[in-house]
Structure 1
Amino acid sequence: MDMVDTTKDVGKGILSIYKKYDHIRISGYMQPQFQAIQTKGAKSYSGGDFAPNVDNRFMMRRGRLRIDYIHFSDTKKPSVQFVFQFDGSEKGFFTRDFWGRIMENNTKLFSFTAGLFARPFGYELNLGSGDRESPERGRMSQSLMKVERDLGAMVSFEPRERTNWLKYVKLDAGVFNGPGLTATADYDSYKDFISRATLKPYPLQKNLSLSAGLSYFNGGLIQGDKYYYTLSSENGQKQFTIDSAQTNIGRKLPRKYYGIDAQLKWKYKNGGATELRAEYWRGTQTSSAATSETPAAVFSTDAYYARQFNGAFFYLLHSFDSHNQLGIKYDWYDPNTKLSGDEVSTASGSHAGDIRYNTLGMGYIHYFDENLKLVAWYEFIKNETTALDGYTSDIKDNVLTLRLQFKF
């Protein structure tokens, strides 16, 4: 996995483009799929909300085309990498990657990346859409860092051609605009600092490897409206209280995240493998009343809400051989850890953006070969039972996804 990339090939290294004459490489994939959900018009994080009268659909989830270019220095070592990737579907064409990387060749320890690329936070967030076993990333990563990418610059420490323990270490630190691809331009002068320390797959035994990571995100957004809500407790009653000082306008509102992840993988002689992944995030998120998603624009009339959140992703994967794989994924996202159950109510000033969700997904993946993959995946989605209208019981929004992936 390479956090400045979204394909499995580059996750293994820069691969054949490191070769002397392979300066240009073109790759891509497409993901046509069929989905069915329990309720017409249900909201969904499995490829987007369903239309009001629709409970099943065909769609082109992704259609990616990527071009890599490597320029070699006089010493025949890579010195500059350039990447352009776009996504095409029935919804239109969108840029997904557009970045350049300079590789320092004296000590072979550092590189510098600038442009539009994936934020260096977490494991699942950076696992490519063409390689991830589950059809989509978890609700938490989609809410906090939608579309995964942002404009910025990053310095990386990644020793190359080392034979000691340093070859298992990678450190990334970057500064980014903040809105990512949810906005066409930055809407304030505040920047996000994001860093990640990675232990690459380390052999614990002959057939057992461990990888892990620590991530840190320190950012924020400008307050465009004077109204700002935080949770407090008065006479034993938890409720949101408002700060409406005129001086609030223009200040920086917090977005701070902490993440930890680990992956264990057992390989078998027949080509099969068993893998366990675990990842946990916590922190502070500022957003709106209705949702905990990172705002795509400065609020002019809506109030801002600050919440303490946490969430996690767990994968259990078993490959019987190189063609057949079973997967189970469980994730939760609690956008407000200070409230639960009936505390999420109009009496406490709560909204839909405070509701916890748990998702259990399971499925079968069949790899016909390197160019064709079939995914059959079902997700059981359960929202927290609250005192809010519309959320006093579980919403029927379980979803089935049948997907083919063509790759070249």
Structure 2
Amino acid sequence: MKKIIAYLITLTPFTLFAQNNNAPSSKDIHDIKITGYLQTQYQKAQSNGIVSFSGGDFSQNSDSRFMIRRGRLKIDRVDEYSNIVFQLDATQNGVNLMDAFIQLHLPKVESFLLTGGLFNRPFGYSIIYSSGYRDFPERARVFQTLMPRERDLGAMISYKPHQVLKYLSADLAVINGSGLTARDYDSKKDIVANLAFDFDSLANKTMSLGFGASYYGGTVRSNTDTYFTFKDHGFVALTNSQNVGKNLKREYYGANLQFQFANPLGKTSFKTEYVEGTQPGIAASTTVNGPTASTSFNSQPASNLYLRKFNGYYFWFTHQIAKTNLTALLAYDVYDPNTEVKEAEIGKAGNNTTAGDIKYATLGYGLTYAINGRIKLTLYNEHVKNNPTQANGYQEDLKDDVFTARLQYRW
């Protein structure tokens, strides 16, 4: 928690405020409204078959691909007492349900909103920030790992004052914890809390400021009699018949900070977010790629669980060049799934560490061109870095950089 506080105090922020996924297309009362966006793209990887957080892993014998990254169709309706949102995602892999929730509000108690169904987990900034408005092609690796597909099933109460505290918003959700699936594999439920402050008009409307803090509290059920915790320089096994069915702690603390300002050279924004905590994962193996060993589960994990202390963060910098339709992009993100071990010790005989404990850093840079109000072209390159370890296949930096050329149409 001290790291979270220090992060908020010491950073100088800059950012654009999120288009909230947990909301209809507009707050005005309206009948059925259809919106959405389509993202089609070409990607070139540094080598064949890489594990990638830029739209998914590449096929075993391929280092390039065309794909539909997202094909979203959103239907919503707003009346005096309720909102309803239903969203599908159609790609070359099929059609998936993305959002399906009902929101209730009372005209005399407009500050409170009750949401039930499938919605974005209200954690931090980037999770609820719509991919149709985000300048960067993907969310940071840490959030893709902790909250894959962003959504979960549950209920949420939101508070947004309209008068004295109009800059404040708060959310408290109770969710399954298994992500975008109705198959919750235990009876425990997870809690997500978010507190945010948005000052969207400062210094004669030339500046915007936002910041917030988040908490995620939950568990993952153990399906075996053994789980691993970290001690000294490696994992130690705890074996007991009573460990079968035991719920192991899953806990995150997050902080985010944003600032945007208009200046003679254009519009500049900077977004940053930090998260740390405890993540139950599994060991990397011949069937589990290293980076996916600490991914949150949408089904009961059959393998022994590993409790890891982690942290991660990102910096997103954008600059709209003067009054043109060009925006320069620069990003840097880090995800360390095991902050208690040094990279040089990973894979060392006897310490039970695996490729699932490796730290990754990604430097991204590119350019977007807004052809008009609906069409946007993005050219973006990601340089992914991991330090050498003793784990097989990870003795040196992997060749897993990715270039993306994307065309998006939003309606």
When normalised by structure 2's length, the TM-score is 0.90
User: What is the CA distance between 1:4 and its match in structure 2?
Assistant: 5.7
Is the contact between residue 4 and residue 117 of structure 1 (CA under 8 Å) also seen in structure 2? Answer: no
Letter aligned with residue 111 of structure 1: L
Letter aligned with residue 389 of structure 2: T
Residue 256 of structure 2 corresponds to 261
User: What is the CA distance between 1:204 and its match in structure 2?
Assistant: 4.1
Q: Report the number of matched residues.
A: 384
Letter aligned with residue 201 of structure 1: F
Aligned counterparts of 1:2 and 1:159: Cα–Cα separation in 2: 18
Q: Does 1:282 align with 2:292?
A: no
Aligned counterparts of 1:332 and 1:134: Cα–Cα separation in 2: 16
Q: Secondary structure at the match of 2:79?
A: strand
Aligned counterparts of 2:19 and 2:227: Cα–Cα separation in 1: 34
Aligned counterparts of 2:98 and 2:117: Cα–Cα separation in 1: 11
Question: Following superposition of structure 1 onto structure 2, how do residues 159-170 of structure 1 map, counting pairs within 5 Å?
Answer: 159-160=161-162, 162=163, 164=164, 166-170=165-169
User: What is the CA distance between 1:296 and its match in structure 2?
Assistant: 2.5
Q: Secondary structure at the match of 1:101?
A: strand
Q: Does 1:95 align with 2:58?
A: no
Aligned counterparts of 2:202 and 2:18: Cα–Cα separation in 1: 22
Is the contact between residue 3 and residue 120 of structure 1 (CA under 8 Å) also seen in structure 2? Answer: no
Is the contact between residue 183 and residue 299 of structure 2 (CA under 8 Å) also seen in structure 1? Answer: no
User: What is the CA distance between 1:367 and its match in structure 2?
Assistant: 0.7
Q: 1:203 to 1:371 in 2, by over 3 A?
A: closer
Gaps of 5+ in 1: 73-78
User: What is the CA distance between 1:18 and its match in structure 2?
Assistant: 0.7
Moved more, 325-334 or 314-323: 314-323
Moved more, 339-348 or 351-360: 339-348
User: What is the CA distance between 1:340 and its match in structure 2?
Assistant: 1.5
Aligned counterparts of 1:318 and 1:112: Cα–Cα separation in 2: 37
Residue 42 of structure 1 corresponds to 50
Q: 1:214 to 1:170 in 2, by over 3 A?
A: same
Q: Out of 137, 140, 145, which is 2:139 matched to?
A: 137
Q: Out of 363, 387, 393, which is 2:390 matched to?
A: 387
Q: 1:269 to 1:127 in 2, by over 3 A?
A: same
Letter aligned with residue 404 of structure 1: L
Is the contact between residue 347 and residue 355 of structure 2 (CA under 8 Å) also seen in structure 1? Answer: no
Letter aligned with residue 5 of structure 1: N
Aligned counterparts of 2:202 and 2:386: Cα–Cα separation in 1: 39
User: What is the CA distance between 1:240 and its match in structure 2?
Assistant: 0.7
Q: Does 1:18 align with 2:28?
A: yes
Residue 238 of structure 2 corresponds to 243
Aligned counterparts of 2:113 and 2:19: Cα–Cα separation in 1: 13
Q: Does 1:70 align with 2:78?
A: yes
Letter aligned with residue 53 of structure 2: Y
When normalised by structure 1's length, the TM-score is 0.91
User: What is the CA distance between 1:184 and its match in structure 2?
Assistant: 4.5
Q: Does 1:5 align with 2:21?
A: yes
Residue 370 of structure 2 corresponds to 367
Question: Following superposition of structure 1 onto structure 2, how do residues 191-202 of structure 1 map, counting pairs within 5 Å?
Answer: 191-202=189-200
Letter aligned with residue 264 of structure 1: F
Q: Does 1:346 align with 2:348?
A: yes
The superposition leaves residues 340-377 of structure 1 with CA deviations (integer Å, 9 ceiling, x where unpaired) of 22111232211111000000001101111121000000
Q: Secondary structure at the match of 1:173?
A: strand
Letter aligned with residue 285 of structure 1: Q
CA RMSD across the alignment: 1.6
Residue 119 of structure 2 corresponds to 117
Aligned counterparts of 2:113 and 2:276: Cα–Cα separation in 1: 29
User: What is the CA distance between 1:399 and its match in structure 2?
Assistant: 0.3
User: What is the CA distance between 1:269 and its match in structure 2?
Assistant: 6.7
Aligned counterparts of 1:258 and 1:177: Cα–Cα separation in 2: 19
Q: Does 1:310 align with 2:304?
A: no
User: What is the CA distance between 1:203 and its match in structure 2?
Assistant: 3.7
Q: Secondary structure at the match of 1:143?
A: helix
Aligned counterparts of 1:371 and 1:136: Cα–Cα separation in 2: 19
Aligned counterparts of 2:140 and 2:209: Cα–Cα separation in 1: 22
Aligned counterparts of 2:363 and 2:198: Cα–Cα separation in 1: 28
